[in-house]
Amino acid sequence: MRSVAFHPEAQAEFIAAARHYESQAENLGLDFVAAVEATYQRVVAFPESGRPFGPRLRRVLLPGFPYGLIYPPGR
């Protein structure tokens, strides 16, 4: 299995977004975290599933939230 890590700026944005959503409605932040985790697992299992995003990256959108994961495809 391929190793995957968040860029430090993406990690900070993820935490800020989860806090923001939780401040908007109870458990909405948890729903956001769950959506990121499910999408991350999908990318790990199927790295070619995202749409091309520039010449060397792919992007997969999070269901229910205006965010996406951007990553280099598996080789």
Residue 27, in any domain of the structure: yes
Residue 1, in any domain of the structure: no
Residue 47, in any domain of the structure: yes
- Residue of 73 and 60 predicted with greater confidence: 60
Structural domain boundaries enclosing 54 = 8-71
Residue 43, in any domain of the structure: yes
CA nearest neighbour of 73 among 64, 60, 61: 60
Query: What digits encode the pLDDT tens for the residues 16-62?
Result: 999 999 999 999 999 999 999 999 999 989 989 999 999 999 999 99
CA nearest neighbour of 46 among 55, 58, 36: 58
Domain count within the chain? 1
Residue 50, in any domain of the structure: yes
Indicate the pLDDT class of residue 6, thresholds 50, 70 and 90.
confident
Half-sphere exposure of 12 (CA within 13 A, CB side): 3
pLDDT of residue 64: 95
